[in-house]
Amino acid sequence: MADAAQRLAALAEEVLGAPLPIRIRAWDHSETGPPHTPVLVVRRRRALRRLLWKPGELGLARAWVAGDLDVEGDLYDALDRLAGLLWERGDGSAPRRSKAAAALKALRDPALRSAVRTLAGLAGPGLPPPPPREEARGARRGPLHTLRRDKEAISHHYDVGNDFYELVLGPSMVYSCAYWEGTEADGATLEDAQRAKLDLVCRKLALRPGQRLLDVGCGWGSMVLHAAREYGVRAVGITLSQEQAAYARKRVADAGLTDRVEIRVQDYREIADGPYDAISSIGMAEHVGSARYAEYAADLYALLKPGGRLLNHQIARRPEPDEEAYHVDEFIDRYVFPDGELAPVGRTVTQLEEAGFEVRDVEAIREHYALTLRRWVANLEAHWKQAVRLTSPGRARVWRLYMAASALSFERNRIGVNQVLAVRTPEGGASGMPLRARDWRG
């Protein structure tokens, strides 16, 4: 077989209804497609067997993670060129189910039997190999968003080695959207932007010395450290990750703040030592799930003193015309954030209000996340060999693809990120908020 690339390109055009906008190179070294574009490399025929047995996103994901599929050249350019086939409506409105995935699943249609036969002939005999070991399987047991299942899902994503996250995140060890106060041309570093984000959160919460702060989903402790050091609060940070907690506790001890900062391995549903003066939840609510979100909002409301503030920093998706048809990306669900769910920002605001909060400010910062993700990808690529050594080739490939694709999703407004400031307004209506908008301290 010396023309596999040409046959694959013709098959792709038949199934997808359009030619591939990048070159393709097959395992037999044949190559075809538009010149001067990134190259989709089909390294092994078993990639096609994965697609035959799991048509759609999951088969593609398994082939990518296993290294059966690869991209040579600019990954952002490749994903951008493929966007119309992978995830985007032609009219620029809300994203829909992957066109490529839908087309691949349509291979079961009898009308496409010839395409199936062609693909099977190219794939060769035999069954597909097992899924890559990086796929979340243990985290799939039991009903969604129980205490045990959430802990397993968090462990899948975060307990992959603190050394690995140090390479990707840099010295700040903040795994959420940074806040770029100027432009990249101003010379701001990722660490500058993360420090600015933490300080913005503290200012929105109007933190003062002696107050109690709860940081839900504290990660490696950066928020509680900043708040205790710069604003004099007493802080409690909670995480479900044992590795994160151990790392954060060491940072707290090294900073000499053990008298003011406590790190717990604890679920937000298990906290019983309120009330707190302020609560921050930064990049955690995406793990809560739609079925549990009302409970999450009510629990945080109950943990706040009257007049206390909540800063909820959360990724949001665009609304779907038919919300019942909302589709969770199988690559993200199996390899990145098991059981994670995104909701439109309007739904988040509504559920916070239904819990009793008064929502006082919503700030959209999606462009900031695109900049942040591109910096993380650059860090990963600059330390690629070390990242592979610390985790696995498959895990490094997962993170590179998901972060690059996410950067483009933020840039194209397929997803956003918002900081929602809410208050547990006391009876009588005295919120404690300033009259002047965004003069956070009053």
pLDDT(207) > 80: yes
Residue 209 domain flag: yes
Cis peptide before 128 (omega within 30 of 0): no
Cα-Cα-Cα-Cα torsion 373, 376, 382, 383, nearest 10 degrees, comes to: -140
Please indicate, yes or no, whether residues 372 and 237 belong to a single structural domain of this protein.
Answer: yes
Please indicate, yes or no, whether residues 154 and 229 belong to a single structural domain of this protein.
Answer: yes
Rounded CA gap, 206 and 204, in Å?
A: 5
Domain end, chosen from 90, 123, 156, is at 123
* Contact predicate 137/338, CB 8 Å: no
Q: Supply the mean pLDDT for the chain.
A: 88
Domain residues for the domain of 76 are 4-123
Q: Residue 173 CB: number of other CB atoms within 10 A?
A: 21
For range 53-72, the mean pLDDT: 90
Please indicate, yes or no, whether residues 247 and 318 belong to a single structural domain of this protein.
Answer: yes
Residue 382 domain flag: yes
Please indicate, yes or no, whether residues 151 and 272 belong to a single structural domain of this protein.
Answer: yes
Distances (CA, A) of 79 to 21, 153, 231, 256, 393: 10, 27, 42, 46, 20
Residue 267 domain flag: yes
What's the CATH number where 173 sits? 3.40.50.150
pLDDT at position 86: 60
| Residues listed for the chain | 442
pLDDT(18) > 80: yes
Residue 136 domain flag: no
Please indicate, yes or no, whether residues 342 and 201 belong to a single structural domain of this protein.
Answer: yes
Q: Which residue has the higher pLDDT, 260 or 59?
A: 260
Q: Which residue has the higher pLDDT, 369 or 326?
A: 369
Residue 354 domain flag: yes
Residue 24 domain flag: yes
Counting the structural domains of the chain, the total is 2
Token reading at 83: 């966007």
Band (12; pLDDT cuts 50, 70, 90): confident
Q: Residue 35 CB: number of other CB atoms within 10 A?
A: 5
For range 74-83, the mean pLDDT: 92
**pLDDT tens digits along 272-303:** 999 999 999 999 999 898 889 999 999 999 99
Please name which of 165, 158, 372 lies closest in space to residue 284, comparing C-alpha atoms.
158
pLDDT at position 441: 64
Please indicate, yes or no, whether residues 106 and 154 belong to a single structural domain of this protein.
Answer: no
pLDDT(381) > 50: yes
Starting at the earlier edge strand, list the strands of the sheet with 304-317.
261-265, 234-239, 212-216, 276-282, 304-317, 415-423, 358-364
pLDDT at position 157: 60
Please indicate, yes or no, whether residues 110 and 154 belong to a single structural domain of this protein.
Answer: no
Rounded CA gap, 341 and 224, in Å?
A: 26
Please indicate, yes or no, whether residues 172 and 264 belong to a single structural domain of this protein.
Answer: yes
Please indicate, yes or no, whether residues 105 and 173 belong to a single structural domain of this protein.
Answer: no
- Percentage of the chain exceeding pLDDT 70: 86
pLDDT at position 29: 94
Band (93; pLDDT cuts 50, 70, 90): very low
Please indicate, yes or no, whether residues 97 and 205 belong to a single structural domain of this protein.
Answer: no
Residue 200 domain flag: yes
Q: Which distant-in-sequence residues (6+ apart) come within 8 Å of 266 by Cβ?
A: 238, 239, 240
Residue 241 domain flag: yes
Supply the pTM of this predicted model.
Answer: 0.90
Element (H, E) at 242: helix 242-254
Here the contacts of 249-253 (C-beta below 8 Å, separation 24 or greater) are 249/221, 251/173, 251/220, 251/221, 251/225, 252/221, 252/224, 252/225
Computed on alpha carbons and rounded to an integer, the radius of gyration of the chain in Å comes to 23
Please indicate, yes or no, whether residues 379 and 246 belong to a single structural domain of this protein.
Answer: yes
Please indicate, yes or no, whether residues 100 and 187 belong to a single structural domain of this protein.
Answer: no
Band (412; pLDDT cuts 50, 70, 90): very high
Q: Which amino acid is present at 210? A: G
